[in-house]
Amino acid sequence: MMKLSPGLLLFGASVTTVIAAVGVGLFILGSPMEERARRVDDRRVADLKGIAAATDLYWTRHSRLPESLDELTDEPGVRIRTGDPANSEIYRYQSVDSTHYEVCATFERESGETSSDPASNLWAHGSGRQCFQLKAEEITRNAK
């Protein structure tokens, strides 16, 4: 029977501790692929919010909805991302009626609700193709 030295035991315990710490970290934080999917989905939501803000600006200037994302991006002062960050697929924009429109994107994972306040969950989404129906709102300046 081979006798283990204290140094070898300490080394083995250190390696085991590091492996356990990495495992716990991945369990708590998620895998790098999950984190990437979360970041890309967050970017999609930010892009759709930008499209919504630009649509409100267009509505304020023209009292009508733009007919397409192309018309929206041609508007002076509008700088929005219209393509998915992962595959460059163009987000879907479509007017529903004279004041409502829909923006759609394909998400990798479910966001879940982040608050009990329904207004802050406007952009909560499932995985796959998700659409959000919004109402154009006039932008007003606050008098100071």
**What pLDDT digit, counting tens, does each position of 116-143 carry?**
555 568 899 999 999 999 999 998 877 5
pLDDT of residue 106: 96
**Domain residues of the chain, as ranges?**
38-135
Winning range, highest mean pLDDT, from 15-29, 60-74, 105-119: 60-74
At 72, phi and psi to the nearest 5? Answer: -65, -45
Which of 67-76's residues contact partners 24+ apart within 8 Å by CB, and which partners?
A: 67/95, 68/93, 69/93
| 30 — pLDDT class (breaks 50, 70, 90) | low
Write down the mean pLDDT value for the chain.
86
For residue 36, pLDDT beyond 90? no
**SS3 label, residue 74:** coil
Residues 6+ apart with CB under 8 A from 58: 65, 66, 71, 72, 75, 78, 136
Tokens in use for 29? 């934080």
Nearest in space to 61 (alpha carbons), one of 41, 85, 77: 77
Q: Does the pLDDT at position 115 exceed 60?
A: no
Answer whether 48's CB lies under 8 Å from 105's CB: yes
Burial of residue 112 (CB within 10 Å: 0-12, 13-18, 19+) is: exposed
Which pLDDT value is given to residue 119? 59
Tens of pLDDT, residues 80-113: 999 999 998 999 999 999 999 999 999 999 986 5
- For residue 97, give Cα distances in angstroms to 42, 92, 100, 101: 28, 16, 5, 7
pLDDT at 24 exceeding the cut of 70 = no
Residue 19 binned pLDDT confidence (cut-offs 50, 70, 90): confident
